[in-house]
Amino acid sequence: MANSGNKPTNPSLSNPGVLLATWFGSGYLPIAPGTWGSLAALPFAWVIAAWSGSFGLVVASIIVFVAGIWAADVYIGLSGGDDPGPVVIDEVAGQWLTLALIPPDFQLYVIGFFLFRIADIFKPWPAGWADRAVKGGLGVMLDDVFAAVYSGGIVFALFYWKVI
């Protein structure tokens, strides 16, 4: 899609796939959409974890992962590209997985947020491989799940060993 100045435009949030892919528009916020998507995921994670514990947050992550494959494919189909910046549902799934094994705690969630952002940006193996090799909605979602394994493991270890 392009406007009269040939500058790409974002697909409309009136499309349910776009609304979900951008996590209710948070991916359209300026500068660092992945960070905004991760931040937007935190209150949802807190409520889900407080209501249903680790199991509920893992189940919610799986649901968002599956829905995210579809939503990312919708967004890619409308806008093009392999992994458009405004698609942040992958950050939601990854952020939730990062926090899944710890209790809702402000300090732990802040640490989990930063650890996930670092892992998502630097993409340690196999996240980097998935980012390069797997295309479409699955590729958009998969690298963040791998990044969440690293960040979730670290924040869980910090909690378990009472470092924090």
Res 49: pLDDT: 97
For 87-145, write each residue's pLDDT tens digit: 999 999 999 999 999 999 999 999 999 999 999 999 989 988 988 989 999 999 999 99
Res 105: pLDDT: 95
The residues spanned by each domain of the chain are: 16-160
Average pLDDT over residues 19-32: 96
Query: pTM to 2 decimals?
Result: 0.91
List the beta bridge partners of residue 2: 8
Buried b (16+ CB within 10 A) or exposed e, 51-75: eeeeebbbebbeebbebbbbbbbbb
Question: What's the rounded Cα separation, in Å, for the pair 122 and 69?
Answer: 22
Mean pLDDT of the chain, nearest integer: 92
Q: In what helix (H) or strand (E) does residue 135 lie, and over which residues does it extend?
A: none
**Cα pseudo-dihedral 152, 40, 72, 155, rounded to 10:** 0
